Amino acid sequence: VGGPAIEAIKQRFGADFITPQGALERDKMRQLAYADAAARQALEAIVHPLVLQETERQATAAVQDAKPCIVFDVPLLAESPHWRSRVDQVLVVDCPPELQISRVMARSGLNRTEVENIMAAQARREQRLRAADAVIFNGELSLAELAVQVRQIAHRFGL
């Protein structure tokens, strides 16, 4: 609520994209952003510089604290011309598209068409896999099996 992008979003898209509590109307913004490429670009122009600023702040603090590894969770890394050059390694967590669709539907309450439209506006699975230095295939893995893969990747990354 009341994050650093709220006022700019309100000015660009209107007060009806902000809840009375001062939070983003996520569903409404998602619908607009995936229906209108210009709106999505305008939203990204607001949000991406703020994300970059915050990640740089956190990375600087981690380096000052001599942390052995900094992990950034970047949902649109394959689409970004900036992120790949800012990281040493890229880990992609992958699953079959049908499983991805069902998971997103269960998590977000979106219907199949909405999820497919969002996926169509993002990098294709093949692009994400090409961007990866390591991949965890999280299909029908148990938590124990997933933990083994995570430990193997962590070791490979020197952790």
pLDDT tens digits for range 95-147: 999 999 999 999 988 999 989 988 988 899 999 999 999 999 998 889 999 99
Residue 69, classified by CB atoms within 10 Å of its CB into exposed (0-12), middle (13-18) or buried (19+), is: exposed
Q: Yes or no: say if 115 and 109 are a contact pair by the CB < 8 Å rule.
A: no
Q: Beta-carbon neighbour count of residue 43 at 10 Å?
A: 22
pLDDT at 1: 65
| Token couple for 1 | 């609520």
| Token couple for 49 | 């510089």
Nearest C-alpha neighbor of 14 from the set 51, 48, 39:
39
pLDDT tens digits for range 6-16: 999 999 999 99
